[in-house]
Chains A and B, each alone.
Chain A
Amino acid sequence: MSDEYIIEMREIDKAFPGVQALSKVDFFLRRGEIHALVGENGAGKSTLIKILTGVEKPDAGKITLDGEEVKVRSPLHAQELGISTVYQEVNLCPNLTVAENILIGREPKKWGRINWGAMNARAREILQRLDIDVDVTKPLGLYPVAIQQMAAVARALEIASARVLILDEPTSSLDAHETAQLFKVMRRLKSEGVAIIFITHFIDQVYQISDRITVLRNGRLVGTFETASIPRLELIAKMLGRSLTELDEMSQIKLETRKHIKGEALLRARGLGFAGGIEPFDLELHAGEVLGLAGLLGSGRTEVAQLLFGVEKPDSGFLEMDGQEVRDFSPLASISRGVALCPEDRKEAGIVDELTVRENIILALQASRGWFKYLNKQQQYEIAERYIQLLNIATPSADQPVKNLSGGNQQKVILARWLATNPRVLILDEPTRGIDVGAKAEIQRLVLSLAEEGKACLFISSELEEVLRTSHRIAVLRDRKKVTEFSGEVDEQRIMQAIAGGEA
């Protein structure tokens, strides 16, 4: 066994406050293979990598390297062990030369001074191994992102004379040609016996390059598969999670609420899009309706939400609300039109952590009222208490700083903030991410009851099952494009087909 695998991770557990990031995850890496690690946001990919590279310590579990048990103490230690990582963001210095970037910290020295000649020669040599021919004495920033990415790979190889190379979404900022170039390098390294862990959310690339695939979902191992033996559609199904279970109460509510959908579109987008974000799309949203937005991470879901809410400005097409063309794209203008967005990134764009639950709840409402139409303390408490009850927010009091709440309750506070503005269009971008199952069901039910009240909801989620359960209509995005739309009861298979694209 241990001859076959260079790395064995067994029963890895890791918990963060409020969330079990990994539970009993096994991961085995063969020598000289390219192993794709896939899963949606919050699946636990990055946590697993962080444990392997010593950034985080596992709560439980065992890691063996070359058949010997190891405890990876720090990223530096990981490098000494021969495990190198190239992170998603290119964390290099564009103002330093290519050679400096590759060899920084390990410059060849002579008499205590850097031996520039030797350094440049060494850098050239490493890059040649990757089949890259550039002037290593020029600043890195002069070269395209792909070359910078290669320099990062070169650096990772140089650091450790690496036996294991981890590439964390290396292709997210590369175009097709550049990706092909990177793949060539990866194949070459593989032939030299380097084992590569390749993290990506591009399914096409998984099939192009990888030998095996490990799928994680919600911190659990779904399975490890030979790439050749798992059809594309099945892989998507495993990533998104679906249980062919009961038509539960939710579907009942969904059927009933369908009657309430109004014929006239409340929000109508025509050819709306912005360069680099989402290609022009058409979309209609009716009062009383839940429109699901399905697609993989990076497919443009968030960009659609941000356009409709005015965080981003379109450079093509137009948006109508109540038949009136929208000209002012800004969150404030959207709020006053009656549009609300629960953003995807709760920590960065949602909560204001030092402020209290009460202040967080009234924030958007107060912003729409302006500086001087101040809600007095009593009104603030009334609103806060109402939503704490309505949404069942677990907090000792309305005066608790919101940072002390669990993820699910923080999410409910954000929801409360938007409900307090009494929106007619509610956009929910991953409202159930990283929260426990109970809270998830509560939020799903709430979305349906809001629709019943006549609000139009746009529901975005990585979990297909959840989208299916709550949505009256489903639009599918792929590669920053809206590819199709399904109305009514649709077969899971067909949606996954649309998400996956290609031949399957």
Chain B
Amino acid sequence: MSVQKSSTMLRKITESRLFFPFVALAFILLFDLIIVPGFFRIYTREGNLYGNLIDILRNGSTVSLLAIGMTLVIATRGVDLSVGAVMAIAASVAAILMNPYVLARELPPHIVKFMTDPNFTYQPLWVVILAALAVSAICGAWNGLLVAYGKIQPMIATLILMIAGRGIAQLITNGVRIQIFYEPYAFIGQGWIILPFSLYLVAIVFAAAWLLTRRTSIGMFIESVGINSRSSFFSGIDEKKIKLLAYTFCGLCAGIAGLVESANIKTSDAFNMGQTKELDAILAVVIGGTLMSGGRFSLFASVVGAWVIQAITTSMYAIGVPAFALQAVKGVVVIFVVLLYSEQVRNLVQKLTARKEARL
């Protein structure tokens, strides 16, 4: 009886959406365990935790945030290429609100002195954050309008903002890279409360997304629209509103990611911020097992996917692979993922567990 139970459990685990992302993560960590001595060491400093594993979680938080929003969009059979650009927009909005003086050509000396003061901000922090997030949500809604109401292909529709977004971000800051000195803002990206502060943000956004999709009917409607939009329409589901919501939420997540990133590097760099991050986010979702053709999704699996990507990066740095070679390694990982997720491998795994069951 108990043997039988454990074997159906085994099957449940292998059929779970989380199985493959975790297997991938385990592979990478196993590699680290063998190759990199002391990779798993975690130490405390002033009561806060540090170490490679913490680094993976912390540096992966931007992509985690993006992946959460991206998951909903991809589940509706869409994609959002503009998230990197929206990050830049959010960062620019935040930076300019904290320090609009950088735009002035000449400033009286007493203001110049203020500008590098770690306690100085022009607008209070909550205004800065709310404004940045509001702008990102509007960006997301713009994408949603184009896709749902304009009936433009998602890739093309979001390409518009992907290209224009960085221009908009630079317009906001008048083309200036703004350094951020305000410490409370920097805390968003660099702060620690035992664990890195950005991890708490990921947890909050994840919880919010989960509640929004799984404790309402929205999650099921997103999946239904992604799988068969005509059946969904016949069943009375408003596909347009669902898509608008998904893209808006994705924009919001990108905004939060933009805040974290700019706070971490203490700069709003409209040109480089979030470059190619949209592709990492898509990769994370794919590793998480959500199909590009839409339908069933798992938010947690996408977050694990983001960790997988970051674990690769951190591991490669740990063994001394130079930054420029990293992209090539990521490419290899994509091949690996494609293989791992192929019908053949899935069938193989299912056959293996099934045989084990039969033997029992």
Cβ-defined partner of A363 (8 Å) among B215, B220, B238, B296: B220
Contact B216 A352 (CB under 8 A): no
Asked if A368 is an interface residue, CB under 8 A from chain B, the answer is yes
Q: Mark A331-363, 1 if CB is under 8 A from B, else 0.
A: 110110000010100001111111100010001
Cβ-defined partner of B228 (8 Å) among A311, A341, A352, A368: A352
Cα distance A375–B236 in the bound complex, in angstroms: 16
The smallest beta-carbon distance between B148 and chain A, in angstroms, is 15
The smallest beta-carbon distance between B77 and chain A, in angstroms, is 12
The smallest beta-carbon distance between B221 and chain A, in angstroms, is 7
A355 cross-chain contacts in B, Cβ below 8 A = 220, 223-224, 227
The smallest beta-carbon distance between B346 and chain A, in angstroms, is 15
Asked if A16 is an interface residue, CB under 8 A from chain B, the answer is no
Cα distance A152–B35 in the bound complex, in angstroms: 64
B126 cross-chain contacts in A, Cβ below 8 A = none
B224 cross-chain contacts in A, Cβ below 8 A = 352, 355, 359, 363
The smallest beta-carbon distance between B198 and chain A, in angstroms, is 30
Cβ-defined partner of B236 (8 Å) among A335, A350, A352, A371: A335
Contact A366 B220 (CB under 8 A): yes
Cβ-defined partner of A354 (8 Å) among B227, B233, B234: B227
Contact B231 A351 (CB under 8 A): yes
The smallest beta-carbon distance between B209 and chain A, in angstroms, is 14
Cα distance A334–B237 in the bound complex, in angstroms: 12
Given contacts A332-B236, A348-B231, contact A367 B221 (CB under 8 A): yes
Contact B237 A354 (CB under 8 A): no
A359 cross-chain contacts in B, Cβ below 8 A = 220, 224
Contact A363 B237 (CB under 8 A): yes
A375 cross-chain contacts in B, Cβ below 8 A = 217
| Interface size band for B | 20 to 34
The residue in chain B whose Cβ has the minimal distance to the Cβ of A331 is B236
Given contacts A371-B216, A374-B215, contact A352 B231 (CB under 8 A): yes
Contact A311 B227 (CB under 8 A): no
Contact A331 B215 (CB under 8 A): no
Given contacts A371-B217, A371-B218, A374-B215, contact A332 B238 (CB under 8 A): yes
Asked if A417 is an interface residue, CB under 8 A from chain B, the answer is yes
Contact A364 B227 (CB under 8 A): no
A354 cross-chain contacts in B, Cβ below 8 A = 223, 227, 295-296
Q: Mark B232-260, 1 if CB is under 8 A from A, else 0.
A: 11111110000000000000000000000
The residue in chain B whose Cβ has the minimal distance to the Cβ of A341 is B234
Contact A352 B227 (CB under 8 A): yes
The residue in chain A whose Cβ has the minimal distance to the Cβ of B291 is A354
Contact A353 B227 (CB under 8 A): yes
Asked if B230 is an interface residue, CB under 8 A from chain A, the answer is yes
Cα distance A330–B238 in the bound complex, in angstroms: 10
B216 cross-chain contacts in A, Cβ below 8 A = 371-372, 374
**Which of B221, B223, B236 has the most chain A CB within a 10 Å cutoff?**
B236
The smallest beta-carbon distance between B47 and chain A, in angstroms, is 41
Cβ-defined partner of A367 (8 Å) among B228, B230, B236, B296: B236
Cα distance A160–B136 in the bound complex, in angstroms: 59
Asked if A73 is an interface residue, CB under 8 A from chain B, the answer is no
Contact B295 A350 (CB under 8 A): no
Cα distance A369–B233 in the bound complex, in angstroms: 15
Cα distance A367–B216 in the bound complex, in angstroms: 11
A368 cross-chain contacts in B, Cβ below 8 A = 236
The residue in chain A whose Cβ has the minimal distance to the Cβ of B214 is A374
B233 cross-chain contacts in A, Cβ below 8 A = 311, 331, 349
The residue in chain A whose Cβ has the minimal distance to the Cβ of B218 is A371
B237 cross-chain contacts in A, Cβ below 8 A = 332, 363, 367
Cα distance A349–B236 in the bound complex, in angstroms: 11
The smallest beta-carbon distance between B17 and chain A, in angstroms, is 12
The smallest beta-carbon distance between A349 and chain B, in angstroms, is 5
Cα distance A330–B240 in the bound complex, in angstroms: 13
**Which of B221, B237, B296 has the most chain A CB within a 10 Å cutoff?**
B237
The smallest beta-carbon distance between A404 and chain B, in angstroms, is 13
Cα distance A311–B228 in the bound complex, in angstroms: 16
Given contacts A352-B227, A354-B227, contact A331 B217 (CB under 8 A): no
Cα distance A483–B218 in the bound complex, in angstroms: 44
The residue in chain B whose Cβ has the minimal distance to the Cβ of A372 is B216
**Which of A341, A352, A359 has the most chain B CB within a 10 Å cutoff?**
A352
Contact B230 A348 (CB under 8 A): yes
A374 cross-chain contacts in B, Cβ below 8 A = 215-217
A348 cross-chain contacts in B, Cβ below 8 A = 228, 230-231
Contact B230 A349 (CB under 8 A): yes
B17-42 interface (Cβ within 8 A of A):
none
B215 cross-chain contacts in A, Cβ below 8 A = 374
Cβ-defined partner of A353 (8 Å) among B218, B228, B236, B238: B228
Cα distance A369–B215 in the bound complex, in angstroms: 14
Contact A331 B221 (CB under 8 A): no
Contact B231 A331 (CB under 8 A): no
A371 cross-chain contacts in B, Cβ below 8 A = 216-218, 221
Contact A331 B227 (CB under 8 A): no
Given contacts A355-B220, A372-B216, A374-B216, contact A367 B227 (CB under 8 A): no
The residue in chain A whose Cβ has the minimal distance to the Cβ of B238 is A332
A334 cross-chain contacts in B, Cβ below 8 A = 236
Given contacts A353-B228, A354-B295, A354-B296, contact A364 B218 (CB under 8 A): no
B267-308 interface (Cβ within 8 A of A):
295-296
The residue in chain B whose Cβ has the minimal distance to the Cβ of A345 is B230
Contact B217 A350 (CB under 8 A): no
Cα distance A417–B216 in the bound complex, in angstroms: 19
The residue in chain B whose Cβ has the minimal distance to the Cβ of A375 is B217
Cα distance A348–B227 in the bound complex, in angstroms: 11
Contact B234 A349 (CB under 8 A): yes
Binding site for A on B (CB under 8 A): 215-218, 220-221, 223-224, 227-228, 230-238, 295-296
Question: What are 7 residue pairs bridging A and B, where the CB atoms are less than 8 Å apart in the complex?
Answer: A331-B235, A348-B230, A352-B231, A367-B217, A371-B216, A374-B216, A375-B217
Given A352-B223, A367-B217, A374-B215, 5 more contacts at CB 8 Å?
A: A348-B230, A350-B234, A352-B231, A353-B228, A359-B220
Binding site for B on A (CB under 8 A): 311, 330-332, 334-335, 341, 343, 348-355, 359, 363-364, 366-372, 374-375, 417
- Please list the 9 inter-chain residue pairs (A to B) with the smallest Cβ-Cβ separation, ordered nearest first: A367-B236, A332-B236, A364-B235, A335-B236, A331-B236, A366-B217, A363-B235, A367-B237, A352-B228
